[in-house]
Structure 1
Amino acid sequence: MSDSTGSDLAEYLRLLDEVFDADYLALVESAEREGRFPRQLIEKLGTAGVFRSKWSSARHIDLPKLVALSERLGGLGSFSVSVGVTLHDSAIAVLRRFGESDYLREIADRAVEGTAIVCLGASEARGGSDLQNAESVAVPTATGYRLRGAKKFVSLSTVANFIILVVRVVSDPDADESGEVALFVVEADKVEIGEPYAKLGAAFLDTAPVEFDLEVPAEAMLARPGTGLAALSWALGSERLSVAAQVVGACDLALGVTVSQLMRRRQFGKTLFEHQALRLRFADLQARLDVLRYALRGLAASRTPLSIRTASGFKVTAVRFGEEVMSECLHVFGGAGYLSGVAPVERWWREMKLGRIGGGADEVLWELVAAGMRPDHVRHDRLVTV
């Protein structure tokens, strides 16, 4: 695990200040209006060196920079942007860690520079998180593999140059053969990408179904059979911790905007903020947000290797808290907050739900946390008499 020094992190924070300027915010707002994910959102980060600085270590995740970047993305107020950039960055994580061929290393370098966008195709046509039973397959050929199958939810697929596909490697696709999970990188223009879905939120995070039947060279294999799930877990660990940090940035924005509303709107002869019930409810949310923020930063600074259990626990805890924050913020805006286009809180409220579904639903993540729990039999026997 590679972590940045204090001075290196400070320099990275200054870089983020420069990149997320008024022009970048205008680009985000334009994309929200037009409903399409523009490549410039990732290209600008690549050109400025945001990914290059974050991935100065060839193979390992820099946790302080991951948290810093994700907080800033969440503070943009657009889940389409924050999730889209995180998906690309998570693809870089798995390419950097497991890409062994010159072909894959070149793709990783292009992704870091922002000249190529990479996304992940994992969920099957029926959806869900049961990746070890993927129906998409790879069959060995004389020169490589033939990949056949479909993925239902592939975000960024309409703008991506490359897609990382989760498949099972089998010798005969028609035989009753379980096969082992592997990862392959394919060129996006060689697969069939369907029309993007109309979604409840994250409107311009283009998510579409993908179908494929193509041959790829052996060098396109990113994770060999039997290691695919482990490699995917590496990417998902990065993504889940990123989501938790995005929630911090998003809640910080939402609370700041809502407290401003509390101090400006008057009811019964005084501002809403002067009503103790409301003031203290938001003080509670602010205190819990601070705890989450510094827990994430503390984890990042601890130099503790990122585990799938830790990342899963942070993600599920953060997003459930984020839902509560967005609901309370919407509540303060009253009827106006329930109207589309009047205040962004209704969109933030809708989009926060995505965090409890994408990247692993609550129940999947709780199972991962539970799998890592260990009993303390020694102290149980000493302290418990029944």
Structure 2
Amino acid sequence: MTPDLAEHETAIVNEIERFADNVLRPQAAAIDEEARFAIAHLQALGDMGIMGMNLPEAYGGVELSGPALYRAVELIAGACGSTASMLTAHFLATDSLLIGGDEALCERFLPAAADGRALGAFALTEPEAGSNPADMRSFAAPEEGGYRLKGSKCFISNAGAADFIVVYAKTDKAAGARGVSAFVIEPKQMEGIEIGPHEKTMGLRGGHVFSLTFDCHVPAENRIGAEGTGFRTAMKVLDNGRIEVAAQATGIAAAALNDAIAYAKERKVGGHPIADFQGLQWMLADMATDLAAARALGHQAAAKRGGRDRYSTESAFAKLYASEAAWRIADKALQIHGGYGYTRDMPLERYLRDLRIFRIYEGSSEIQRTIIARGLLA
């Protein structure tokens, strides 16, 4: 079930659904098999305005509402998880600018990001600072005209092809989270930025992630917001990102459920479709209930997106439940397919591999439980 959308949003979502079905889905297996970077779809996504769905019209974006954006991401992920991963990583970068940056910085980077001319990346995670970004070691020291940025990041989606990367680093080592600031670096133009080969991941094999190291000069005008505001910006960005992870999870889960239903109607045992068997019907009922609950939490969080009030708890609810429910749904879908589901000729094993990371990145399930508990106990 999708919340009511404005008429123009419905038209956009319908166009995205056609694109997902006709372009993304037929290529998804090959992208996974060949570990082909999903930026192959970048220009088409840009031409359709999809790269700027989260941005206001003033910066060339489509400015979809939270619920419409949720549905769009869900459709893309259901067709190709790797493409959705590349897209939403780009959103993390542009949201960082939109939330924390001044007008001049937004005007420099966002119009090109909105139409696909520039790809963004979001660099927060470090080898020894994952679930607790306040432990980061990357540091930006003042120097003439800006900062000397030194450090390293890991598991950074899109970094190998990014035109701009939002990097979070300490400007005050003694201040903990309050000492974190945000900067935009341009790896294709700045010296001192090294990006490693993409990691060989279990799933989302076309949504490439990279390590990067840097010892580079960053102009003062590339700082996002005031010094010390970076951590607050990152947490607001992740509130949005976790809703998008939930949308990706429910999109893949919906694809798995639809495949299971179709197979159950076709597959016969003893002359009867296996859909006639009560045990299997109950499996499908549980899958559909899990999906409906995950979507409800996702829609609840998405409806708050862009509002004045924080929605950290709602986004944590959505990501936690959707990422874990989607795994259950895809696992049952594979079980319904039996031995055929275990082969790589069917997409079930890809769904499971793609879904596994959702319980880890942008805040693990354990971190989501911590966020929820803190809200309860505040």
The reply to whether TM is greater than 0.5 is yes
SS in 1 for 2:340: helix
2: CA distance between counterparts of 1:299 and 1:355? 17
1: CA distance between counterparts of 2:11 and 2:148? 45
State the one-letter code of the partner of 1:335: G
**In the superposition, relative to structure 1, how do residues 302 and 214 fare at CA in structure 2: closer, same or farther (>3 Å)?**
closer
State the one-letter code of the partner of 2:358: G
- 1:367 pairs with 2:370: yes
1:295: Cα distance to partner? Answer: 4.2
1:365: Cα distance to partner? Answer: 1.1
Task: Give aligned-pair identity as a percent.
Answer: 25
**In the superposition, relative to structure 1, how do residues 104 and 19 fare at CA in structure 2: closer, same or farther (>3 Å)?**
same
Contact 1:71 1:246 in 2 (8 A): yes
2: CA distance between counterparts of 1:218 and 1:127? 25
SS in 2 for 1:114: coil
Which residue among 58, 64, 73 is the counterpart of 1:70?
73
**In the superposition, relative to structure 1, how do residues 61 and 23 fare at CA in structure 2: closer, same or farther (>3 Å)?**
closer
Could you list the per-position Cα deviations for residues 137-195 of structure 1 after superposition, in whole angstroms to 9, with x for gaps in the alignment? 0000121000000012111111111111110014xx8xx78670011110123410111
Q: Where in structure 1 are there 5+ consecutive unaligned residues? A: 376-386
- 1:330 pairs with 2:334: yes
1:331: Cα distance to partner? Answer: 1.2
State the one-letter code of the partner of 1:231: T
State the one-letter code of the partner of 2:182: L
SS in 2 for 1:188: coil
2: CA distance between counterparts of 1:272 and 1:24? 30
Residue 43 of structure 1 corresponds to 43
State the one-letter code of the partner of 2:23: D
Which residue among 127, 132, 135 is the counterpart of 2:134?
132
Q: How do residues 82-97 of structure 1 correspond to structure 2 at under 5 angstroms?
A: 82-97=84-99
Residue 380 of structure 1 corresponds to none
1:117: Cα distance to partner? Answer: 0.4
SS in 2 for 1:20: helix
2: CA distance between counterparts of 1:177 and 1:6? 45
Residue 236 of structure 1 corresponds to 238
1:52: Cα distance to partner? Answer: 4.1
Contact 1:237 1:311 in 2 (8 A): yes
Moved more, 229-238 or 305-314: 305-314
**In the superposition, relative to structure 1, how do residues 136 and 285 fare at CA in structure 2: closer, same or farther (>3 Å)?**
same
Q: Where in structure 2 are there 5+ consecutive unaligned residues? A: none
Moved more, 53-62 or 178-187: 53-62
Residue 10 of structure 2 corresponds to 10
1:129: Cα distance to partner? Answer: 1.8
Which residue among 281, 284, 287 is the counterpart of 1:282?
284
Contact 2:54 2:91 in 1 (8 A): no
1:215: Cα distance to partner? Answer: 0.4
**In the superposition, relative to structure 1, how do residues 199 and 53 fare at CA in structure 2: closer, same or farther (>3 Å)?**
closer
Which residue among 104, 109, 112 is the counterpart of 1:110?
112
1:293: Cα distance to partner? Answer: 2.4
- 1:183 pairs with 2:182: yes
Q: Which has the greater radius of gyration?
A: 1
Moved more, 259-268 or 240-249: 259-268
Moved more, 58-67 or 351-360: 58-67
Contact 2:304 2:311 in 1 (8 A): no
State the one-letter code of the partner of 1:39: I
1:101: Cα distance to partner? Answer: 5.4
1: CA distance between counterparts of 2:363 and 2:301? 21
Contact 2:159 2:165 in 1 (8 A): yes
**In the superposition, relative to structure 1, how do residues 302 and 156 fare at CA in structure 2: closer, same or farther (>3 Å)?**
closer
2: CA distance between counterparts of 1:299 and 1:68? 13
Aligned residue-pair number: 367
1:21: Cα distance to partner? Answer: 5.0
Q: How do residues 1-386 of structure 1 correspond to structure 2 at under 5 angstroms?
A: 6-52=6-52, 54-56=54-56, 62-76=65-79, 78-100=80-102, 102-126=104-128, 128-170=130-172, 180-189=179-188, 190=190, 191-301=193-303, 305=309, 307-339=311-343, 341-374=344-377
**In the superposition, relative to structure 1, how do residues 42 and 123 fare at CA in structure 2: closer, same or farther (>3 Å)?**
same
SS in 1 for 2:255: helix
**In the superposition, relative to structure 1, how do residues 53 and 81 fare at CA in structure 2: closer, same or farther (>3 Å)?**
closer
1: CA distance between counterparts of 2:335 and 2:365? 24
Contact 2:53 2:64 in 1 (8 A): no
Could you list the per-position Cα deviations for residues 241-274 of structure 1 after superposition, in whole angstroms to 9, with x for gaps in the alignment? 0111222221111111111111222224422211
2: CA distance between counterparts of 1:296 and 1:35? 29
